[in-house]
Structure 1
């Protein structure tokens, strides 16, 4: 039995007349009658009683009508589900992010834009540091990841640049330099730095260390913090000072001030990473929505892709 046989059966059952059913289906009446007879022979039961005005369903026909309607609905739903999946409108998307990237407003804007455009796609969010996220991408456990790549190259990864973000100095409010609007990094020589351990955030850690060395001093490493919010809290508790991405300044913790860096520009790079040969429609859709969300955020830098191998 094929689905078309059930469609023929349904048309005759609904019309109660083979000629009208044939017209509805756009086929000839004799071929439709032959198909119905063939279906009855295959099933070994009579489905219709022939009358002078048309046909009526037998008990066997009534039973088949219930299941035929369900089967045809299921078949139609299967087609619709496949079409939605083919357009990237269904399924699951796994998205990774570093703790520092989540502070940049363009990241939640991109996620929000995708969820609004594709509500049928489930989003799984996973936090990790850059090496962890790259490993999960490579293993296929993540589809995309927001991370800070620095100047490193990653084989088999395509990076879409999201932001080139300024860094800021964060000081205890009672620090002698806290009332300054801008400070050169050299003014921090001899200060105790509160940083996230390199194993946790290697890119951000290296960028801060490199900027200080270029300013002519080796940072004195003090208390370590597990994440950026903890860095701000420890600075507030006067464990030392730190340097953070500008977007972290939205953490308005009591007892700290954020100061711009004077002189040489100190920046950190934020990117969206995907596997080089990922052809998933869901991934492509997220990248499209990310581009639109970034434009709406008013960023001056267009999202660009580059292969780093």
Structure 2
């Protein structure tokens, strides 16, 4: 007995008439009758009582009908799941997010939009610096990641730049340049200040800060290092130094921290990128990459409008 015969049986059982069941199945009545008889011979039971105006299930037929429907429903669910997975509409996705990237309005917005568009994809989010991301990719613990290190050196990864934003300075509120009259500060005027940097050397924004300071004519005096952007801002608020952050970080309001734009040269930039494994065959990953890249283009166009 095969699935085709089960479908024939269910159609006849539901229609209670072989001719109507044949019309429903798009076939002729005689071949359908032969298939039902073949099933009865194979099972050695009578499934239907033939009546002048149709058929009626026997007790054995009623017992088969419930299980036949369950089998066909299970097979259909399996087929639907397979098709959705193949189209990238169902599955699991582990997404990494650089600490500073989570403050960019684009990141939560695009993740929320993807979840709404593909509700059957299970998303797991995890914060991680660039070295954390490389480690998790190498152990197949991450599928895609929003990163700041778009120049990350790893032959197994592809980094696609998405958006660019200026970096600004986060000052302790007691700093002389944190007064309301100061709207923008030249970076070179901060040469004598202590800097609080986050992440180890090699982290994108750590390196970008050092490069910008050197371009302004000085090497930053690194007074403190912190593992995350939030702890960095906490140290700034405590008056232990200042730091450069992506412009979007000013959406975080912390008592004791004042944000100011940078003026003149250099104008350091923070780039938001999307990392993925080179040649990843996952349809869900491809779906996510296409969705985010398209959304980034729309977001960029909206900023220019």
TM above 0.5, one fold? yes
The corresponding residue for 1:234 is 235
Deviation at 1:167, TM superposition (A): 0.9
In structure 2, C-alpha distance between the alignment counterparts of 1:202 and 1:11, rounded to whole Å: 64
The corresponding residue for 2:225 is 224
Structure 1 residues 170 and 18: alpha-carbon distance in aligned structure 2, compared to 1, 3 A threshold: closer
Contact 1:109–1:293 under 8 Å retained in 2: no
The corresponding residue for 2:127 is 127
Structure 1 residues 15 and 186: alpha-carbon distance in aligned structure 2, compared to 1, 3 A threshold: closer
Matched, 1:276 2:278: yes
SS class of match (1:198): coil
Taking structure 2 as the reference length, the TM-score comes to 0.91
In structure 1, C-alpha distance between the alignment counterparts of 2:47 and 2:107, rounded to whole Å: 61
In structure 1, C-alpha distance between the alignment counterparts of 2:138 and 2:33, rounded to whole Å: 58
In structure 2, C-alpha distance between the alignment counterparts of 1:154 and 1:69, rounded to whole Å: 52
Contact 1:229–1:251 under 8 Å retained in 2: no
Structure 1 residues 31 and 152: alpha-carbon distance in aligned structure 2, compared to 1, 3 A threshold: closer
RMSD: 2.1
In structure 2, C-alpha distance between the alignment counterparts of 1:51 and 1:59, rounded to whole Å: 16
The corresponding residue for 2:98 is 98
Match among 195, 198, 210 for residue 197 of structure 2: 195
In structure 2, C-alpha distance between the alignment counterparts of 1:293 and 1:104, rounded to whole Å: 14
SS class of match (2:176): coil
In structure 2, C-alpha distance between the alignment counterparts of 1:158 and 1:95, rounded to whole Å: 15
In structure 1, C-alpha distance between the alignment counterparts of 2:89 and 2:230, rounded to whole Å: 35
Contact 1:198–1:206 under 8 Å retained in 2: no
Taking structure 1 as the reference length, the TM-score comes to 0.90
In structure 2, C-alpha distance between the alignment counterparts of 1:260 and 1:270, rounded to whole Å: 19
In structure 1, C-alpha distance between the alignment counterparts of 2:65 and 2:207, rounded to whole Å: 70
1:1-40 alignment runs, 5 A limit:
1-40=1-40
Runs of 4+ with deviation above 6 angstroms = none
Q: Which moved more, 1:155-164 or 1:264-273?
A: 155-164
SS class of match (1:45): coil
